[in-house]
Amino acid sequence: MKKSNVSSLSKLVKKFSQEDVILQMEKEYRSVASVNIPLEKIDDNSYVNKVTFSKKTVNLLGKSIKEKGFFNPLVVRRKGDRYELILGRKRYFGAKNINLAEVPAIIREVDDEEVLLMLLADVRDEREGNIIEMALICTALSQKFNYSQATLGKLSHQSRSQVTNIVRLLSLPEKVIKEVMLGELSYGHARALLRLDQFEIEEAVKTIHHNKLSVRETEALVKRYRYEDEDYEKEVSLITKSNARDVKIKPVSVSFEFDTVEEKEDFIKKYLSD
């Protein structure tokens, strides 16, 4: 990689890895006059247009816009004689829902790389997106601009392994991905399902919904698919009682794995303290 490219990447990472970078941008935009653009001339963002919202969310946003107007304008960029949306997808679909003719927008001249970084900062700060959106953005940055897992971790405020797991969500069946988008399955549920094959995933999802399984119960269910052995029922029982992520029973030992240090310490106090 050329020195200038490394320098450019370093500046982008430094800028977009900061907390609330989109909030700071929005403050800057308030000093810039927005323009009214015909809604029919704005296209959804090509990188994340796969991500959908529930009808309830879109209806609520439409109602809010109708009653109160736009608190912040959309952010778009020019694409020929049209515009591509960068920030404000929920507001965009809310405006479409009430057949708004025009919407206020700030026009930014930015390339694909910076668009993706703006989208990542936005979803990272839990403002407009969800975990599937983050997976799509990280995949695009990796494939199109050769971003490493370590760099994506800095930008998304995740560990490298977390970034890997988030990107892997895109390997799940389309139906499951849609459920995660709409909040019908949590990220924790989806992450557990990654260990199963497609047929097992379909069966597991039915069980999750039918029995209203928690994430920990789903992880125990996945163990049942993966490990059909005599210790399974014991392990599931210990997972439930101990609140552990995983339990492994061996001939002369039992090991517990927890999500946090606090959960481990609670377990020790409850079961091992005098």
Domain tally, the chain: 3
One domain for residues 97 and 228: no
The model's pTM is 0.76
CATH number of 197's domain: 1.10.10
Q: Is residue 25 part of a domain?
A: no
One domain for residues 14 and 119: yes
Instruction: Using the structure block, give the residue that is written with the tokens 């708004």.
Output: 100
- Domain end point (choices 87, 109, 131): 109
Nearest to 123 by CA among 98, 86, 74, 149: 86
Q: What is the pLDDT of residue 91?
A: 92
Range of the domain at 226: 172-272
CATH number of 37's domain: 3.90.1530.10
One domain for residues 152 and 261: no
- Domain end point (choices 109, 135, 157): 109
One domain for residues 10 and 125: yes
One domain for residues 127 and 41: no
List, as one string, the DSSP characters of 75-141.
EEEEETTEEEEEE-HHHHHHHHHTT-SEEEEEE----HHHHHHHHHHHHHTTSS--HHHHHHHHHHH
Q: Is residue 28 part of a domain?
A: no
Quick check: helix, strand or coil at residue 37?
Answer: strand
Q: What is the pLDDT of residue 3?
A: 43
- Domain end point (choices 149, 171, 193): 171
One domain for residues 14 and 120: yes
One domain for residues 60 and 75: yes
Q: What is the pLDDT of residue 1?
A: 45
Q: Which two tokens stand for residue 195?
A: 């260990």
Q: Is residue 137 part of a domain?
A: yes
One domain for residues 121 and 158: yes
Query: Rounded distance, CA 135 to CA 229, Å?
Result: 34
Position 69: which residue type? G
Give the pLDDT of the chain (274 residues) as one tens digit per residue.
444 455 577 778 777 877 777 777 777 776 678 899 999 999 999 999 999 988 999 999 999 999 998 888 999 999 999 999 999 999 999 999 999 999 999 999 999 999 999 999 888 887 556 899 999 999 999 999 999 999 999 998 889 999 999 999 999 999 999 999 998 999 999 999 998 988 899 999 999 999 999 998 898 888 877 665 455 566 666 666 777 777 776 656 778 888 788 888 888 888 776 5
Q: What is the pLDDT of residue 229?
A: 47
